[in-house]
Amino acid sequence: MKVMKFGGTSVGSASRICNVGELIKDSEPKVVVLSAMSGTTNTLVKISDSLYKGKRDEALAVIEELDAKYAGVIADLFATDEYRIKASEYVLGVMALLRSMVNEPFYTLQEKIVLAQGELMSTHFMHYHLLEIGVPNTLIPALDFMRVDKDGEPDYFYIRHNLAREIELRKAEDLIITQGFICRNNNGDVDNLKRGGSDYSAALIGQAIKADEIQIWTDIDGFHNNDPRIVEHTKAIRKLSFDEAAELAYFGAKILHPSTVSPAKMANIPVRLKNTMNPNDEGTLITHDSPVQSVKAVAAKDGITAIRIVSTNMLLAYGFLRKVFEIFEKWKTPIDMIATSEVSVSLTIDDTTHLEQITEELRKYGTMEVDQDMTIICLVGDFTSNQSANIAKVMNAMVGIPIRMISYGGIDHNISFLVKSSEKIQALTLLNNNLLNVQ
């Protein structure tokens, strides 16, 4: 069985929903995971923010806009009264739920219920559309099997057993439709896998049913070797290893949610990235191993803060780094890059929620410098120690760009640089012109 996940732009209009219908209606057994129509989750965030702040008129106005948008989609998508009425009734229920919240006190738990509506509507549309064109399919609600534990981590056992039970109970057709992103938490309340989490849903489902392949369908021909929004003439990469893909996804390639790789890698299920607008393109295949290439790709992650702690106490001392790391652990702040000298340590974080408390505590260990608006440039390629020529090529390509930190040696296929965000475009362009486009 295959898992096929379609993102927001892939189901972003009535005609796009029809296109996806064409792609999934063959007789091959599959689970289809859908995102909300593009823009919808952002709109729902707006509604929930307004409700939270007690701005009722504002919330109501956005609900009306959403209602009108969905009425338009229904008018375009369905040809028969039967399914037009079914879809309208479903949307009517959603809008009534949202409107009912306007006059009630708003609890944080309701925020998650509001955010869940986008995926619930898109999957109902797909389910009805397929039935209308004569394609049998079963809609299995993600809220009946997708669950996170008290730490917000997937409850693998629960997901596997409950999904199997739902498939069995419903005597599901070979074509199963379900929602990405949404889940329940350990209290059974509606929750989600965080923004962009539909990819993660697909991987968790793939792992649970031991799928043959997990396909992530978006609007680009797979992972590109550089950021196509910033530089021209980027190329799709045909093969990546799980580790390379995880690195690129984490460090900024927007095509894949970074958590997606781990369940697929654990269960050794290939992940294929495909383009809904160009379905015949082979896309990118992510498996355990992939061909070695001197420099394969670059990705960039903005919003990084670098902290440098200089302390003579570090000289010849042991236990210093532990004390530093404990502070980050206490404030639940992950560290991305790290570089040390005999008297100093530099590290980067992207979550600055507790920056003030962290720096306050670090102050007792030495003097500190904090640089905000930094970018991590992550390169994937063959950087094993006997391939120093590849490292030299990268360094040469970036001549002129001031580098704040370098991370090399963590793993053979990666080298990362920290630069000021204002230097990012120039750095990516230089890498493109001097390296990726001339190989």
- Burial (CB count <10 Å: 0-12, 13-18, 19+), residue 396: exposed
* By CB under 5 A, residue 7 contacts Mg ion: yes
Judged by DSSP in three states, 414 sits in strand
In whole angstroms, what is the distance from residue 424 CA to residue 311 CA? Answer: 30
206 binds, among Mg ion, ligand ASP, none (CB under 5 to 8 A by kind): none
Q: Among ligand ASP, Mg ion, none, what binds residue 41 when CB lies within 5 to 8 Å by partner kind?
A: ligand ASP
Using the contact rule CB under 6 A, the part of the chain among 18-26, 196-204, 275-283, 417-425 near ligand ASP is 196-204
Q: What is the CA radius of gyration of the chain?
A: 24
| Beta bridge partner(s), residue 415 | 379, 408
CA distances from 106 to 41, 47, 53, 92, 103 (A): 18, 11, 9, 21, 9
Neighbours of 315 (CB within 10 A): 9
Quick one: what does residue 180 bind among ligand ASP, Mg ion, none, with the CB cut-off 5 to 8 Å set by partner type?
Answer: ligand ASP
- Identity of the residue, 180 or 206, whose beta carbon is nearer to ligand ASP in the bound complex: 180
The dihedral of CA 218, 221, 222, 225: what is its sign?
A: negative
Can you tell me which of 9, 41, 276, 390 binds ligand ASP, judged by CB under 6 A? 41
7 vs 21 by CB, closer to ligand ASP: 7
- Which CB, 7 or 222, lies closer to ligand ASP? 7
Q: Which is nearer to ligand ASP, 119 or 423 (CB)?
A: 119
Amino acid (1-letter code) at residue 409: G
List the single partner that 197 binds among ligand ASP, Mg ion, none, CB under 5 to 8 Å by kind.
ligand ASP
Site for ligand ASP in 197-226 (CB under 6 A): 197-198
For 230-247, b where at least 16 C-beta lie within 10 A, e where not — what string? Answer: ebeebbbbebbbbbbbbb
Q: Which residues of 350-382 are buried (b: 16+ CB within 10 A; e: fewer)?
A: eeeebbeebeebbeebbebeebeebbbbbbbbb
Binds ligand ASP by CB under 6 A, chosen from 21, 154, 196, 263: 196
Nearer residue to ligand ASP within complex by CB, 286 or 394:
286
Least Å distance, CB 63 to Mg ion, is 24
The single residue among 118, 154, 196, 252 that binds Mg ion, judged by CB under 5 A, is 196
Binding site for Mg ion (CB under 5 A): 7, 196
Binding site for ligand ASP (CB under 6 A): 7-8, 35-36, 41, 118, 180-181, 195-198
